[in-house]
Every structure is written in C-alpha cells, then in structure tokens.
Amino acid sequence: MPDQDADPELEARLPEGEVFEPPESFVEQANVSDPDIYDEFEQNWPECWERAADHLSWDEEYDTVLDDSNPPFYEWFTGGELNASYNCIDRHVEDGRGDEEALEWVGEPTDETRTYTYSELQREVEEFAAALRDRGVEEDDIVTLYMPMIPELPIAMLACARIGAPHSVVFAGFSADALATRMNSADSEYLVTCDGYYRRGDPLDHLEKTNEGLEGVEHEVSDVVVVDRLGDDGFGHDLAANQTDYDDLVAEFEGAEVEPVPRDAEDMLFLMYTSGTTGQPKGVKHTTGGYLSYAAWTSHAVLDVKPEDTYWCSADIGWITGHSYIVYGPLALGTTSVMYEGTPDYPDKDRLWEIVEEYDVNQLYTAPTAIRAFMKWGKEYPDQHDLSSLRLLGTVGEPINPRAWKWYYTHIGDEDCPVVDTWWQTETGGMMVTTLPAVNDMKPGSAGPPLPGIDANIVDTTGEQVGAGEAGYLTVNNPWPGMLRTLYDNDERFIDEYWTEYSDTDSSDADDWVYFPEDGATVDEDGYITVLGRVDDVINVSGHRLGTMEIESAIVGVEGVAEAAVVGGDHELKGEAVYAYVITEDGYDGDEDLRERIIAGVEDAIGPIARPEEVVFTTELPKTRSGKIMRRLLEDIANGETLGNTSTLRNPEVVEDIQSKVSND
Ligand code: 6R9
C-alpha cells in the first residue's frame, strides 16, 4: 500500500500553512460570490434571514422573522405556514420539472440502481402518505424510521412530512436496544423498517434486530411497515400481526392523492437523537420553517447546489448530515441527489469514483474518515476514473488534518475544486462555520469564518474572546433559523446542555444568551476558526458521535465488570477510537472471554460503531483525590503520550501498570 507520508512531491507542492484561492472558473458561476454578503447580513440582522426563507414556497407568509422574546426558546418565521414535502417535490413538478431526476439511488450490488424523477417521487410519497394515514397516523404522531440507505427511507420521511407527522430516523447500524430507547423516549407507536440490506456483498438481517428492539418498547406499537429489500436473499421471517409488507400496503393506494398539510413554521419536522454527556440520548427537535430554510440556504450558498446539478453526499441518512444534505436541502432546491447504499470499498476501492464518473457528479460531500481511507488506499483508485464533472468538494463530521485536505484537493479535485470544511452539529441543523467557496480563501485544516449571519466566537472560561492562536471554546451568540428548538419533552435539559455555560439564565434579554456547542477551537488573525474537537464526554469515531457514558453503562452491564472508564484515543483512520479501561468484579478474570462479552455488550447496547478498539483490564482507575476519574490521563495513555503531572492523583502507582498494558501500535 502506498504511504502518503512518502509522497514528497505532494508535500512540497502544497506546504503547510499555504492558502488557496477559490478557482476562477468556480467563482464565475457560483451562487454566492459577492464578499459584501457578510456585511449585508450583519447590518440587516435578523431580517437577513428572509434570504433563507425565500428559498421556500410558503402557504401563508410569516409575520415575524425572529421572535426572541423568550430566550433560549427562539421562534423563526412565526405566523408562516408551509409543507416540507410540497417544497421538496410538488413545486418542482408544478414548475414543469417533473421529468427531471430527484433521486439517483445506487444499490450496493453493482447491477442495481433506481432513478426517481420528481413526478415519480411525488407519486411514491403520496401513496405512502395515504398508507400511513390509513394505518392511523395522524398529524403530530411521531413515526420511527429504522432503515438503511434505501429509497423508501427518504420516501417515508417525505410522506411523514406531507401529513404533518414528525419522523424520528434511527440509524440502521444502531442496535435493537438503541431502537427501543428512542421509540420509548418519543412515545412512537409507528415504525417503518425493512427485512435487511447488503453489506460488502452479504445480506444482513435487519428485521430480526427490529423485532428484538420492539420487545423493549414499553407501549403498544400499533403498526410496523416492512420494506422487502432483499427479495430472494431474504431471511424468510413471517410478519407479525401488526406488521405489513410495504409493497402490499402501497399497492392498495395506487394513484392516491394526498394534499400536503400546511404546517406552522414552528411545527416539528423531525426528531433526531444524538449523544450527549449523560447516558440518555437527546431528542433534538427541528422545525418546519426554520430548519428547511436553513438547509436550503446553506445548500445553495456553501454547496453551490443548482437545480441542474447532480449532487452527492455520501453520508447515511440516519445522521443529521443525510437529513439536511441528502434529503431536505438538495430536494428543496430541486437538484438531483445521489444516494448510495453500500461501502466505499465494495466491490473495490474505486466504487465512489466509479459512481462520480457514471453520474457526472458535480459536488461531493463526505467525511474526513473516508478521505483518510482513500488516502491509505492510494491515488491509483481515483486515477482510474474521469472525475472532471466535479466542481466542489466538501467535508463534515470531524476536524480534517491538512494532509488529508490536500490529498482530497489534489487527487479528487484536481486542484480545481474549492473544498469546504463545514463545522456544524445535529443541533445546529445546518452548516455554521465554513468558507463560502467563491468568496474566501481556503486554509487546509481550518474550517473558516462563521457563515454570514452567524456570530461565532472563541472564548475562555469566563466568556472573554481569546487572542489569535490561543485555544478556547466555540460559542454562538445569535440565534439562527436552523437551530434546535428544544430537546424532546425536556426543556430543562435543553437549557442545561447548551445554555448554562455562558448565558445569564435569569435574563429575558436574548443578548444575554449564548449557545455552547461543547467544542474547543482556535481562531487566527483572519477570523478563521480551527475546531479542535469535543470538550465534553463525547467522542467522535469516524465522524459518529458517541457518548462515553453510554458506552460505559453498556460495559458495566456485562457480568463480571465492576467499573469502566471509556475515552477516545487517536486513530489513523477513524479519527478517534474507543478505549475501555475495565475493573473486573471479584472472582472474574480479565480474560479473552470477558473481553469478548464486553465487546458484544457494547454492540448490543449501541451498535458495532461503538465497539472498543482496546479493552484494558486494570485493578484500579487513576482518580483525583476527590474521586473523579482522570480521563485526560487515560487519553494520554491510549495515545502513548508522555504523561503530565500525576501528583494530584490519589493512586499514582496505578498509571504505570495501566501504561504497560496498552499496546499503542
Ligand atoms: C454534522 C455533524 C457534531 C460534532 C461537532 C464537532 C464535530 C463536525 C466538523 C467537526 C471539526 C468539522 N464536527 N464537523 N469538527 N471540523 N468540519 O457531524 O453532526 O454528528 O452532531 O457531530 O462533530 O465536534 O460538535 P454531529
């Protein structure tokens, strides 16, 4: 395997610290190319956000752009009414664009693809919306969607949106327990799932996992719709009494017309569960008007999406990136969105590049973890394909190191595509910090300035702005349309998690409220923000957010485990990997059997993405005198770094013992 470290030519051509200008050919055609946009937004705030709302068709015009009378419960575009499904589908058909492609679905098996024009998507969505209604789904009922990357997932999302039923998508790679926790939390009585899907050529049984999860749901689940994805490769499960086959159900509603329900701008469009500091995942609530405007606006301004483009975001729809930038943003703009079922290395390591070539993809939006893998596989894979259709590249999910950035820029973009490194979160709904591709120079490794209208600052623990180059905490001072409105059914936790750190929580003046995303960052003299990573107990494995507490509670649930501490250690491909330090109960050995049971316990509770890279058995964990586990120290040990001061420990002798057990390869 070629080692990119040993690519002196590349390193020499693109030295660290170099700044790249937007390519002229890109600037000439860009949606947003006027640098005055920053001033315009600042001087005209919050009315500037009408520019985002203008990307949508409203059934009822809004009266007020921002109602900030009750911070941090901000409301956007109040009085306005709209429907997300209408905005993502019908209006494009009404504009005479019904025959243009909305979704290009590429299955993992190389001979399987499906194209949906906007008219076809409309028909499918209306039929499934009619079916959901028939099953009893009413406006405001939360429908859980537990599906992999198959077309029925966006179809179900849009069908829910059409009838005003918020969806809660659970990533298909999550475990049965994770499904149950989320359905319980949202009191969701409806589920859409599938029989299985393909992973690297093999069919996976998804219905069995679903059924296991349903056993853990505490309320009655009235209906489960099951998509038959695998056909003859299926596992032959019989459907239970409350389960219906998707195709059979939809066949009953052939040609059905379902009027899109006008929704209040502030009505919930969906819930998305994400990891936080405590064990329980948080149900992030997004609304119809603000979220959709923001997803559409950022797709337009940052990803430069145009109706005639073929745009591809390689994320999974089970994460926020897929919601905003596979489904809602691109479809609201009427473009063609590509959706790929499989992994980038199946059947070979050039699969993505084959798809880019085949579909003439114009924008590619992916994650640093994927780019690091491409780098490791070598440039001969992209080199086999004509990638000249690409006009813009994007990354999201975790910090990108300059070397990976440069590789992407050079070998995928041919030094002719701007790269947008976009910082944002499940909670922010859309991008917050990134260069505008035709306006700002690019600095590899640094996301860039906050977007127009976004007031992001790097501050110290007292809230004072730090100087250029100093590490601090990322904060956001003004609200924005795409922000979460609350955590489902838990306003108190919403305030606790995001607003207590830097706000005057007794104040009813919005200026006294500051959003804290729990990321560390630095800022340079040009205002470019470099995000360093989470400062809470959340780790980022391959761009996926995992709570260390969730993993710890899974491990402690395993028979024979007394105590566990989980930290993120550096990992070449994944960015971070899970390191678990475990104390066994008396009478149990830290042996292979226990290690395997711990790994299985984590996979059952969360999913394979949370699988510990290393399980280290120890008799004690390093603790401060007040009894707190010194996680920093455990991280340093995982990374094989020289340890700082251990004198504040109650039990300094344990450190050496643990160090000797970590492999650091
Ligand atoms: C969209 C998404 C959010 C966390 C976030 C931060 C990290 C995302 C990043 C980045 C550095 C970037 N993150 N994008 N860090 N540079 N461009 O990923 O949402 O799953 O909620 O994760 O991901 O730590 O706080 P989510």
Domain containing residue 190: 117-261
What is the model's pLDDT at position 2? Answer: 34
Mutate which of 321, 421, 423 for ligand 1? The one with the most ligand atoms within 8 Å of its CB, which is: 423
Q: Can you give 252-311 as a three-state secondary structure string?
A: CCCCCCCCCCCEECCCEEEEEEECCCCCCCEEEEEECHHHHHHHHHHHHHCCCCCCCCEE
**397 C-alpha to ligand 1 centroid (Å):** 4
- Counted domains in the chain: 2
Identify the residue whose C-alpha is closest to ligand 1 atom 17: 423
Q: Which two tokens stand for residue 24?
A: 């002229």
Q: Can you give 415-444 as a three-state secondary structure string?
A: CCCCEEEEECCHHHCCCCECCCCCCCCECC
Identify the residue whose C-alpha is closest to ligand 1 atom 12: 423
Residues with CB under 6 A from ligand 1: 274, 319-321, 396-399, 421-426, 447, 517, 519, 531, 533-534, 540, 543, 545
Question: Is there a domain that residue 620 lies in?
Answer: yes
Identify the residue whose C-alpha is closest to ligand 1 atom 16: 399
Amino acid letter, 651:
N
CA distance linking residue 182 with residue 193, whole number of Å: 14
Question: Is there a domain that residue 609 lies in?
Answer: yes
**Ligand 1 atom at minimum distance from 321 CA:** 1
What is the model's pLDDT at position 665? Answer: 54
CATH number at residue 183: 3.40.50.980
**Of 261, 294, 311, which closes a domain?**
261
**Ligand 1 atom at minimum distance from 531 CA:** 11
Identify the residue whose C-alpha is closest to ligand 1 atom 8: 397
Question: Is there a domain that residue 268 lies in?
Answer: no
Taking the chain (665 residues) in consecutive chunks of 10 residues, what is each chunk's mean pLDDT?
40 64 98 98 98 98 98 98 99 98 97 98 98 98 98 99 98 96 97 97 97 98 98 96 98 98 98 83 96 99 98 97 98 98 96 98 96 94 98 96 95 98 98 98 97 97 94 96 97 96 96 96 96 89 89 92 92 93 93 97 95 94 78 88 76 86 70
Identify the residue whose C-alpha is closest to ligand 1 atom 26: 425
| Residue 312, SS3 per DSSP | strand
CATH number at residue 626: 3.30.300.30
What residues are paired with 271 via a beta bridge? 168, 285
Question: Is there a domain that residue 112 lies in?
Answer: no
**Ligand 1 atom at minimum distance from 319 CA:** 20
**Of 205, 229, 261, which closes a domain?**
261
The contacts of residue 352 (CB under 8 Å, 6+ apart) are 314, 340, 344, 364, 366, 374
Closest to 390 in 3D by CA, of 411, 364, 409: 364
What is the model's pLDDT at position 633? Answer: 87
Question: Is there a domain that residue 236 lies in?
Answer: yes
Mutate which of 540, 541, 574, 609 for ligand 1? The one with the most ligand atoms within 8 Å of its CB, which is: 540
**398 C-alpha to ligand 1 centroid (Å):** 5
Question: Is there a domain that residue 613 lies in?
Answer: yes
**72 C-alpha to ligand 1 centroid (Å):** 22
Question: Is there a domain that residue 484 lies in?
Answer: no
What is the model's pLDDT at position 664? Answer: 59
Closest to 175 in 3D by CA, of 546, 662, 426: 546
Question: Is there a domain that residue 300 lies in?
Answer: no
Identify the residue whose C-alpha is closest to ligand 1 atom 18: 397
Mutate which of 169, 320, 328, 398 for ligand 1? The one with the most ligand atoms within 8 Å of its CB, which is: 398
54 and 87 in contact (C-beta within 8 Å)? Answer: no
- Give the Å distances, CA to CA, from 477 to 62, 64, 510: 24, 20, 9
**209 C-alpha to ligand 1 centroid (Å):** 28
Q: Which two tokens stand for residue 87?
A: 């905005």
In degrees, rounded to 5, the angle at the alpha carbon of residue 125 between the alpha carbons of residues 283 and 396 is: 45
Identify the residue whose C-alpha is closest to ligand 1 atom 5: 425
Residue 562 neighbours by CB distance under 10 Å:
11
**Of 261, 285, 311, which closes a domain?**
261
